[in-house]
Amino acid sequence: MSQQPSAADLLPGKPTSASRTTLSHIMTGNDTNLLGTVHGGVIMKLVDDAAGAVAGRHSGGPAVTASMDEMAFLEPVRVGDLVHVKAQVNWTGRSSMEIGVRVLAERWNESTPATQVGSAYLVFAAVDADGKPRQVPPVIPETDRDRRRYEEAQIRRTHRLARRRAIKELRERGRAGEGRETED
């Protein structure tokens, strides 16, 4: 069982705005799928890149993707769209961080407002030079929206952990029953 960190172990907190970032990219023909729209994997890479930048900024060093969940594609992205990937830290644990990402698209040559085309939540783990987990500073939500995102992230974390536990238990029960043969 791990111990709770003492007050002396805690790093000073960082506000949400300290690591928030936007990555922008114009989509080209190289980014398309068989339907002629931008491939979801291209968008997912941009999401991971932006989230990784935020995680590294917040943690002050390397961080690796631990999971991606709730990736939602709301609208197709087309060649010629200028895609903006906005990311921020929603929640922090001892060595992990949930990064929330919004994906927006607008025509590169028009002055119409950008439309939200996707969103995702990723969990990153801060690591040291040996790849071992390292402590991250707590995130300090600054606005009502940041506080809401922090609380929602805690709910998602609870669900991720419960799902992981339930799957592990199911697999262990399955292994226990694999050695037995039944008679008809």
Task: Write out the two tokens for 56.
Answer: 């590294």
- The residues, any chain, with a CB within 8 Å of residue 86's CB and separated by 6 or more, are 20, 21, 22, 50, 101, 102, 103, 104
CA-closest candidate to residue 80, choices 38, 118, 40: 38
- Its sign, for the CA torsion 143, 145, 147, 149, is negative
pLDDT in tens, the chain (184 residues): 445 554 446 789 999 999 999 999 999 999 999 999 999 999 999 999 999 999 999 999 999 999 998 899 999 999 999 999 999 999 999 999 999 999 999 998 898 899 999 999 999 999 999 999 999 999 999 999 999 999 999 999 999 999 999 999 999 998 877 765 555 5
Rg over CA atoms, the chain: 20
Residue 35: DSSP 8-state: T
